[in-house]
Structure 1
Amino acid sequence: MAEETSLEIEETGKSKKKLIIIVAAALLIIGGGAAGYFFISGSDAPVETLDEETTVSTDAAPTASGSSAEIGSALYVAMPRPFVFNVPGSSRDRIVQIKVQLLVRGEVNEETAKKHIPLIEGTLLSVFSTTTADELSTSAGKETLRFSALEKVQKALMDVEGSKVIERVLFTGFVMQ
């Protein structure tokens, strides 16, 4: 009986040590997460103070060209799903998957791009489906496709919104099988 009680005391001591280690690890993880959040969420834009009540962010100033696609800070709008399509090749047909993000300037253009995601997706898919596997196998062919996609998307948004909205089309993932 005396041996059993001593075993229980030792097990309780070990469980307390485990509990202390777990709590310390949890606090370390939470502290690291909070520090990372504050580090990442900090504003990188320099702010100039004009007087006590007015502040101006220097990176949101409009550029000299006046195009609405060049006003504001750079923001990225991700397409909700990757584009998967077939392309004909010289030896055989291939399946291509492209993940796309759009570079826009300013929050107004970001909201406009998000509002017209179905139009942008349809336009991009029609551009992507006109290419061949031989063209996509070279980096020059990929750049040509990206540039063509940008032109077509800007034209489609110009017809609907009256401004280009999109500054660049970026391929963030490209797989051809």
Structure 2
Amino acid sequence: MADEELEMEDGGGKKNKMMLIIIIVAVLVVAGGGAFFFLGGSEPVPEAMPQNAGQGGAVPGAQGANVGTALYVAMPRPFIFNVPGAGRDRLVQIKVQLMVRGSDNEELAKMHIPMIEGTLLRVFSTSSADDLVTEVGKVAMRDQSLREVQKAMQEIASKDVVENVLFTGFVMQ
């Protein structure tokens, strides 16, 4: 009788182990299928880029004009400065990247980073905290930054090197 009870207990343990293994396998299959569903995507593969597109050359057929590839030149340091406000002065930190077209303009922008930094600091120092609190004030400062940088690059390189000034980080305390 004792032998029969031991055999029953061992058989029950095997069933529990088998059930546990089946549950683990089922969970892994469901998780793998979910990962494939969410990460697999059904987007079509984009067509191959033209040979000269990655080299800063013009991409034919882009809005009827020859436009080089967009490249981004990051300013090496964020701009940190004080701005006066109605209630109190504020500390502002702005991370800036310049959008240029083509590798020639990228090299020109990199070569003249100190001059571009000086121009941006001059523009930033004319702002006030009350203006920078609003989205309209930030956009106005970005647009003025673009105009001033383009004007400075026009004087040095005789062409518009920078197409856009982007604020990739904006913190005001």
Give the TM-score range, shorter chain: 0.5 to 0.7
TM-score calculated relative to the size of structure 1: 0.65
Partner of 1:97: 93
Indicate the residue corresponding to 1:146 in structure 2.
142
Corresponding residue for residue 174 of structure 1: 170
Q: Which amino acid letter does the alignment assign opposite residue 61 of structure 1?
A: V
CA distance in 2, matches of 1:44, 1:86: 48
Q: Is the 8 A contact 1:45 1:57 kept in 2?
A: no
1:143 deviation in Å?
Answer: 0.2
Equivalents in 1 of 2:133, 2:160: separation in Å?
29
- Rounded to whole Å, the distance in 1 between the matches of 2:87 and 2:96 is 27
CA distance 1:89–1:106, change in 2 (3 Å): same
- How well do the aligned residues superpose, as a CA RMSD in angstroms? 2.4
The equivalent residue for 1:107 is: 103
Task: Say whether 1:46 aligns with 2:54.
Answer: no
Q: What is the TM-score of this pair, normalised by structure 2? A: 0.66
Task: Kindly provide the amino acid, as one letter, of the partner of residue 58 in structure 2.
Answer: A
Which has more radius of gyration? 2
List runs of 5+ in structure 2 lacking aligned partners: 1-45
Structure 1 CA distance, aligned partners of 2:95 and 2:147? 18
Identity of aligned residues (%): 58
CA deviation map 1:87-130 (0-9, x unaligned)? 00000000000000000000000000000000000000000000
Asked if residue 60 in structure 1 is aligned to residue 58 in structure 2, the reply is yes
Structure 1 runs of 4+ off > 6 angstroms?
62-66
Q: Deviations over 1:39-76 (max 9, x none)?
A: xxxx98622xxxxxxx554972377897xxx7310000
| Counterpart AA for 2:67 | I
Equivalence for 1:130 = 126
> Partners in 1 of 2:98 and 2:47 — Cα distance?
21
Cα distance in 1 for partners of 2:58, 2:80 equals 36
| Counterpart-to-counterpart distance in 1, 2:165 and 2:119 | 12
Q: Is the 8 A contact 1:86 1:95 kept in 2?
A: yes
Q: Which residue in 2 is equivalent to 1:72?
A: 68
Which structure 1 segments of 5+ residues have no match?
Answer: 1-42, 48-54
How many pairs align?
125
Q: 1:44 to 1:82 in 2, by over 3 A?
A: farther
